[in-house]
C-alpha cells in the first residue's frame, strides 16, 4: 500500500515540475506575440504571424526536449520506490508478529513496473506534443483577436497586445483529450503520474497478497476524500466472495473502475489484512473525524472535501498569476518601442499585485481553516536567507531564553561540535524564534530555499527541561537524557533531509519515511504520539539510543544507517 501522503507527494512533485515547464512555454508564446511586430499592412502582418507561429512550435518543442521533468531513469526510480514501499507496508503486520517475510520485488512485479513505466513514458510524451500544438493554435487565435481589436478602432496597438499577452499567459499550456476536454499541462501531468504510480503499486499489492496468502484487504483513509469514497475508506473487505463481517472488496470499492478505488486522481490504496494478526489502521473516531469534520471560512461552513477544493482553486489561481508575470517579463524583453514597453510594464505591475493578493488569500484561507500542513518543513519556513556556515554554533541571543545560561550555551555548542566531528551536517543556521507551545527545538526544511535550519523556541523554559530530562527518559517518554541527546535528535532531522534541494524532493522523502511508521512503534512514547510524523520522530529517537549504545528495533536501526550512514566521518 502507498499512503495518501506518499501519493500526494508524488502528485505535488509532478505538478510543481510541469508548472515550471508551463511557465516556460507561456513565456515563449508571449515573446513571439511581441516579435510579430506592430500592425501596419494586414497581409504582411498575417504572413509574419504565420512565420512566428512556426518558430513558436520549434520553441515549445525545444522547451519540452530540454526541460521534460522526468527522464526514464527518474520515472523508473519513482515506480520502483513506490513498489518497494508498497511491499514493505503490506508485510508490516507479519514482520511485527515475528514472521520471516520476503519483502523483495519478484520478477513478475518488476515486469509490471517496467510495463507501466513504458506506458506512462508514452503518455507524458503525448502530453508534450498536444501541448505544443495547442500552444501554436493559442498564439494564432490570440493574434487574430488582437488585429480585430485594432482594426475596429476600439483599441490601440499597445492595449490590444497587452491584453493578448495577458490572455495567453492566463490560459497557459493546455492538453487536449479525444473527448474534447482540456486541462492545464501541470494538472494533466499530476493526474497522469498520480494515477499511474497508484495503479502500479495496487497491482503489486495484489501480487504480493497472493504471495502472502492474504484473503482480506483494508483500504486506506484520509481527510477530504470524495463523498463516494468515504463510504468504503478505512474498512476491511474480503478479496474473494463475502461473509457476514466483510463485504466483497470489488463490489464495495469499485476497484478497477475509473471513479473507484485507485481510479483517476484517487489517493486511496489498499493492503493485505490478517484477522487476528493485523490491527485496523484507523479507529472509528478517526474515520468519523475524516467524514464529518468541517471548517469555517468567511462565516460559511465547509466539509473537508469542499475546503480542499477551495484551496486547490486558490492554488491554481496563484499558478495562473505566476504565468502571467513570466509572460509579461518575456514580452518586455522583446519590446522595441517605448510605448509598448511602457504598456507591458504596467501590465507586469498589475500582475504582480494580483499574484500577491492571491497568495495573501491562500494564507488567510489556511489561517481561517487551519489547513496548514503540520510537517517540519512548514514550521521552519520563517527564516531569512542565510549562507551555510562552516561551523555550527548556537546564537548568542539564545541566552535570552529562560534557563539558558552561558554554561548551558557552552554545553549545547560542545554537543553540536561533537556531532560535527562524527557526521557531515549541513545546517544553514540556528535562530531563536517563537514556536508552538511545548516545542524546545524545531528543525526542518526551509520551503523554497533547499536548506535545513533550526529554531530554538524563545518561550522554552530550560530550567524545567533540564530538571525533567532524567525522569522523562526513565518513563520512556524521550530517548534522550542529556542536552547532547536532544541536540543529536535534531541533528538527525537535519541529515535526513539535507540532500533535498526542492520542496517536491522533501515532500516525497517525508512521505517515503512515513511509510515505515507501522513498524517503528515503541522507540519512545514521544515518537508514538507524534501524529503525522511518527516515523520521522521514531528514527531520530532511535539515532539517540544507538549513539548511547542502547538496543533498538532492528528495522529502525537499519533505516537510521540507510538514511544517514553515508554522512558518517
* 208 and 66 share one domain: yes
The model's pTM: 0.57
Domain-terminating residue out of 168, 196, 213: 213
Q: For the chain, how many structural domains are there in total?
A: 4
Identify whether residues 125 and 26 lie together within a single domain. yes
Q: What angle do CA 139, 141, 142 make, to 5 degrees?
A: 65
Residues 72 and 191 in one domain: yes
- Based on the fold, state whether residues 315 and 264 are members of the same structural domain: no
Q: Name the residue range of residue 248's domain.
A: 214-276
3-state SS, residue 15: helix
Does 377 reside within a domain? no
Residues 437 and 547 in one domain: yes
384 within a domain of the structure (yes/no): no
Boundary (domain end) residue, out of 372, 405, 424 = 372
- Cβ atoms 224, 304 nearer than 8 A: yes
Low-confidence ranges of the chain (pLDDT < 70): 1-2, 5-6, 10, 13, 37-76, 78, 125-126, 128-129, 131-133, 135-140, 142-143, 146-147, 151, 176-178, 372-391, 448-449, 504
- Same domain for 174 and 36: yes
Residue 487 lies in a domain: yes
Q: Mapping DSSP to helix (H, G, I), strand (E, B) and coil, where does residue 5 land?
A: helix
Q: Are residue 205 and residue 315 in the same domain, yes or no?
A: no
Q: In this structure, is residue 283 part of a structural domain?
A: no
The pLDDT value given to residue 373: 34
Structural domain contains residue 381: no
One domain for residues 463 and 548? yes
pLDDT value for 352: 92
Domain boundary among 191, 213, 235: 213
C-alpha cell recorded at residue 188: 494533466
Contact 165, 331 (CB under 8 A): yes
What is the pLDDT, as a whole number, of residue 133?
66
Q: 76 and 49 share a domain?
A: yes
Same domain, 160 and 253: no
294 inside domain:
no
Decide if 515 contacts 544 (C-beta within 8 A).
no
Res 147: pLDDT? 67
pLDDT computed for residue 49 by the predictor: 56
Could you tell me if residue 379 is inside a domain? no
Looking at residue 408, what is its pLDDT? 94
Q: What is the pLDDT at residue 48?
A: 55
Measured between alpha carbons, how far is 421 from 85 in angstroms, rounded to an integer?
33
Phi/psi-derived region of residue 528, left when phi > 0, alpha when psi is between -120 and 50, beta in every other case: alpha
Q: Residue 305 has what pLDDT?
A: 87
290 domain-assigned: no
Whether residue 244 is found in the same domain as residue 123? no
Residue 449 sits in the same domain as residue 474: yes
Amino acid at each position: 500500500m502507498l499512503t495518501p501522503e506518499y501519493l500526494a507527494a508524488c502528485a505535488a512533485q509532478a505538478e510543481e515540475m510541469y508548472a515550471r515547464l508551463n511557465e516556460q512555454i507561456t513565456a515563449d508564446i508571449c515573446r513571439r506575440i511581441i516579435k510579430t511586430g506592430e500592425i501596419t499592412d494586414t497581409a504582411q502582418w498575417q504572413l509574419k504571424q504565420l512565420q512566428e507561429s512556426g518558430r513558436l512550435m520549434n520553441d515549445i518543442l525545444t522547451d519540452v526536449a530540454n526541460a521534460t521533468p522526468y527522464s526514464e531513469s527518474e520515472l523508473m526510480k519513482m515506480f520502483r520506490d513506490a513498489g518497494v514501499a508498497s511491499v514493505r507496508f503490506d508485510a508490516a503486520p507479519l514482520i511485527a508478529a515475528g514472521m520471516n517475510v520476503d519483502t523483495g520485488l519478484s520478477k513478475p512485479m518488476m515486469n509490471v513496473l517496467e510495463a507501466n513505466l513504458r506506458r506512462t513514458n508514452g503518455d507524458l510524451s503525448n502530453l508534450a506534443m498536444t501541448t505544443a500544438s495547442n500552444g501554436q493554435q493559442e498564439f494564432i487565435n490570440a493574434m487574430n483577436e488582437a488585429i480585430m481589436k485594432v482594426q475596429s478602432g476600439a483599441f490601440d496597438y499597445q492595449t490590444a497586445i497587452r491584453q493578448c499577452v495577458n490572455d495567453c499567459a492566463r490560459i497557459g499550456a493546455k492538453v487536449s483529450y479525444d473527448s474534447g476536454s482540456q486541462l492545464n499541462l501541470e494538472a494533466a501531468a499530476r493526474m497522469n503520474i498520480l494515477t499511474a504510480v497508484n495503479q502500479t503499486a495496487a497491482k503489486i499489492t495484489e501480487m504480493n497478497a497472493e504471495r502472502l496468502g492474504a484473503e482480506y484487504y483494508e483500504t486506506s483513509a484520509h481527510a477530504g476524500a470524495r463523498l463516494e469514497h468515504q463510504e468504503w475508506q478505512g474498512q476491511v473487505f474480503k478479496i474473494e466472495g463475502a461473509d457476514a463481517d466483510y463485504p466483497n472488496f470489488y463490489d464495495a470499492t469499485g476497484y478497477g473502475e475509473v471513479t473507484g478505488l485507485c481510479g483517476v486522481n484517487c489517493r486511496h490504496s489498499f493492503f493485505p489484512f490478517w484477522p487476528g494478526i493485523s490491527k485496523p489502521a484507523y479507529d472509528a473516531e478517526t474515520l468519523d473525524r475524516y467524514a464529518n469534520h468541517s471548517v469555517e471560512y468567511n462565516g460559511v461552513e465547509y466539509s473537508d472535501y469542499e475546503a480542499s477544493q477551495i484551496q486547490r482553486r486558490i492554488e491554481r489561481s496563484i499558478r495562473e498569476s505566476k504565468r502571467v508575470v513570466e509572460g509579461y517579463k518575456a514580452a518586455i524583453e522583446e519590446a522595441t518601442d517605448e510605448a509598448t514597453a511602457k504598456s507591458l510594464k504596467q501590465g507586469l505591475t498589475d500582475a504582480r499585485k494580483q499574484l500577491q493578493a492571491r497568495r495573501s488569500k491562500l494564507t488567510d484561507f489556511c489561517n481561517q481553516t487551519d489547513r496548514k500542513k503540520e510537517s517540519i518543513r512548514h514550521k521552519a519556513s520563517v527564516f531569512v536567507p542565510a549562507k551555510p556556515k562552516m561551523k555550527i554554533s548556537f546564537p548568542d541571543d539564545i541566552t535570552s531564553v529562560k534557563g539558558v545560561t552561558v554554561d548551558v550555551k557552552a554545553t549545547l555548542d560542545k554537543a553540536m561540535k561533537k556531532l560535527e566531528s562524527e557526521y557531515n551536517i549541513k545546517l544553514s543556521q540556528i535562530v531563536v524564534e517563537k514556536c508552538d507551545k511545548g516545542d524546545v527545538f524545531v528543525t526542518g526544511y526551509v520551503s523554497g530555499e533547499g536548506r535545513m535550519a533550526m529554531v530554538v523556541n524563545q518561550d522554552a523554559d530550560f530550567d524545567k527541561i533540564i530538571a525533567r530530562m532524567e525522569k522523562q527518559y526513565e518513563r520512556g517518554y524521550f530517548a534522550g537524557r542529556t542536552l547532547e541527546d536532544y541536540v543529536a535528535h535534531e541533528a538527525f532531522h537535519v541529515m535526513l533531509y539535507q540532500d533535498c534541494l526542492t520542496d517536491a524532493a522533501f515532500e516525497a522523502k517525508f512521505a517515503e519515511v512515513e511509510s515505515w511508521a507501522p513498524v517503528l512503534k515503541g522507540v519512545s512514547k514521544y515518537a508514538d504520539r507524534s501524529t503525522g510524523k511518527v516515523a520521522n520522530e521514531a528514527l531520530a529517537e532511535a539515532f539517540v539510543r544507538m549513539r548511547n549504545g542502547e538496543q533498538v528495533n532492528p528495522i529502525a536501526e537499519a533505516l537510521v544507517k540507510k538514511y544517514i550512514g553515508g554522512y558518517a566521518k
